[in-house]
Amino acid sequence: MAEAVERLQQRVEELERELAQERRRRALGGGDGGGGRARIEKMSPEVVDSNPYSRLMALKRMGIVSDYEKIRTFAVAIVGVGGVGSVTAEMLTRCGIGKLLLFDYDKVELANMNRLFFQPHQAGLSKVQAAEHTLRNINPDVLFEVHNYNITTVENFQHFMDRISNGGLEEGKSVDLVLSCVDNFEARMTINTCAPPLVVAANIDEKTLKREGVCAASLPTTMGVVAGILVQNVLKFLLNFGTVSFYLGYNAMQDFFPTMSMKPNPQCDDRNCRKQQEEYKKKVAALPRQEVVQEEEEIIHEDNEWGIELVSEVSEEELKNSSGLVPDLPEGITVAYTIPKKQEDSVPELTVEDSGESLEDLMAKMKNM
């Protein structure tokens, strides 16, 4: 029995080595990656049915993106290959991203078939393994690196940080973007430690939101919308077009998309978060500054034939006195309004002298005042 187990372990190690060699061979261009076409060395704008990038390169002709080929120079890490993460990975693969790093430790189940990506025959496979196989078939030009482990454990955390810092398109350089597609607070805090994306979460244990025997409800429509919004902002950020949303929510019940600008909290309790903020400020300060020439706007109707002027009826002092105190808030947050200062009610005093008049006469005088 012991010998059989040992032989089986040796065979597993051999297969793992063969798999690693095949992955390296494909990464270097020694195969078509399992897809139905050979690798394409250079994106072409040629409008033919056989060009998988023709519709993407059309963004240059439309003047939306100046250099779409630049997409191949970026490496993106996706943490969590579930309902949102898997669709995000597929969209970026179809867009021709340079490299994708996938992190997840879960397996594909038939209960996951409410999602847009996984298929029934992949049940039992690890999510990253199933995703890599499908994505390679879609676009063999993309490099893939998959890790089947839990990033929140002590034994895996250091390796996760190392791959974020050194797993870029060129080995030894960091990835360009980390996408948090996880559903638990522990994983979000782990991601925030090594490469802080903007994470918004309530200060509660999210496990308390799940009850025993009750699964979390989810629709493929919701996951598709969220993944689409995420990838759209990823492309805008990487290719420098449009406006990147700092925060964009989605209320599916009312089709409501709240948006707001949010900045990191300089008083964050997480020391690593504050450290990353300081490093980011130094990085931005080191960038060459572009001088912005502001043209003076022409004042319309300063002088007009009717001699009309707009004069404020409220002075600056009156406006200041009508506003309340503004609390000390972190950078980037302002109040929508303030509560005016309480002023002493000015009630006119009525002095009644002893004039010998009756109370009825005084009341009559007050009515006539």
- Active centre residues (catalytic): 215
User: CA-to-CA distance for 82 and 126, rounded, in angstroms?
Assistant: 11
Nearest C-alpha neighbor of 43 from the set 230, 239, 224: 239
Phi and psi (nearest 5°) for 208? -70, -15
Distance (Å, rounded) from C-alpha 179 to C-alpha 175?
11
Strands 177-180 and 75-79, how do they pair?
parallel
CA distance 93 to 79: 15
Cβ pair 131, 107 in contact under 8 A = no
3-state secondary structure the chain: CHHHHHHHHHHHHHHHHHHHHHHHHHHCCCCCCCCCCCCCCCCCCCCCCCCCCHHHHHHHHCCCCCCHHHHHHCEEEEECCCHHHHHHHHHHHHHCCCEEEEECCCECCHHHHHCCCCCHHHCCCEHHHHHHHHHHHHCCCCEEEEECCCCCCHHHHHHHHHHHHHCCCCCCCCCCEEEECCCCHHHHHHHHHHCCCCCCCCCCCHHHHCCCCCCCCCCHHHHHHHHHHHHHHHHHHHHCCCCCCCEECCECCCCECCEECCCCCCCCCCHHHHHHHHHHHHHHHHCCCCCCCCCCCCCCCCCCCCCCCCCCCCCHHHHHHCCCCCCCCCCCCCCCCCCCCCCCCCCCCCCCCCCCCCHHHHHHHHHHC
